[in-house]
Amino acid sequence: MPRVVIVGSVALDDVQTPFGKVENALGGSAVYAGIACSLFSKPGIVGVIGSDFPKKYLDLLAACGIDLTGLETDSAGKTFHWAGRYGLDLNSANTLSTQLNVFENFTPKLPDSYRSADFLFLGNIDPGLQLDVLKKMEKRPKLVVADTMNLWISTMREKVLEVVKEVDICLMNDAEARQLFRTPSIVGAARQILALDSKIAIIKKGEHGAVMFGKGIHFACPGYPLENVLDPTGSGDCFGGTLIGYIAKTNDLSLKNMRKAVVYASSVASFNAEGFSVEKVSSISKKDIDMRYREFGRFVKF
Which residues contact ligand AMP by CB under 6 A?
Answer: 9, 11, 13, 27-29, 82, 98, 124-125, 149, 151, 233-237
First to last CA, the chain: 43
- Residue 2 or 123: which CB sits closer to ligand AMP? 123
* Helix ranges restricted to H, the chain: 29-38, 55-63, 112-115, 127-136, 150-155, 157-166, 174-181, 186-195, 235-250, 255-272, 286-299
**Cα–Cα distance between 7 and 161 in angstroms, integer?**
18
- Residue 44 or 232: which CB sits closer to ligand AMP? 232
The DSSP symbol for 196 reads T
Inter-CA distances, 263 with 22, 232, 287, 292, 295, Å:
29, 18, 15, 9, 10
| Minimum separation from the CB atom of position 131 to ligand AMP (A) | 15
- Residue 11 or 39: which CB sits closer to ligand AMP? 11
| Minimum separation from the CB atom of position 138 to ligand AMP (A) | 26
**Cα–Cα distance between 39 and 238 in angstroms, integer?**
10
| Minimum separation from the CB atom of position 30 to ligand AMP (A) | 8
| Minimum separation from the CB atom of position 83 to ligand AMP (A) | 9
- Residue 87 or 294: which CB sits closer to ligand AMP? 87
- Residue 17 or 29: which CB sits closer to ligand AMP? 29
| Minimum separation from the CB atom of position 51 to ligand AMP (A) | 18
- Residue 202 or 254: which CB sits closer to ligand AMP? 202
| Minimum separation from the CB atom of position 150 to ligand AMP (A) | 8
| Minimum separation from the CB atom of position 139 to ligand AMP (A) | 27
Angle at 243 between CA 237 and CA 246, to 5 degrees: 135
**Cα–Cα distance between 140 and 118 in angstroms, integer?**
8
Question: To 10 degrees, the CA torsion angle through 213, 214, 217, 221?
Answer: -30
Q: How would you class 139 by CB atoms within 10 Å of its CB: exposed for 0-12, middle for 13-18, buried for 19 or more? A: exposed
- Residue 82 or 224: which CB sits closer to ligand AMP? 82
Residue nearest to ligand AMP (CB): 27
Which among 111, 79, 78, 82 has a CA at the least distance from the CA of 95? 82
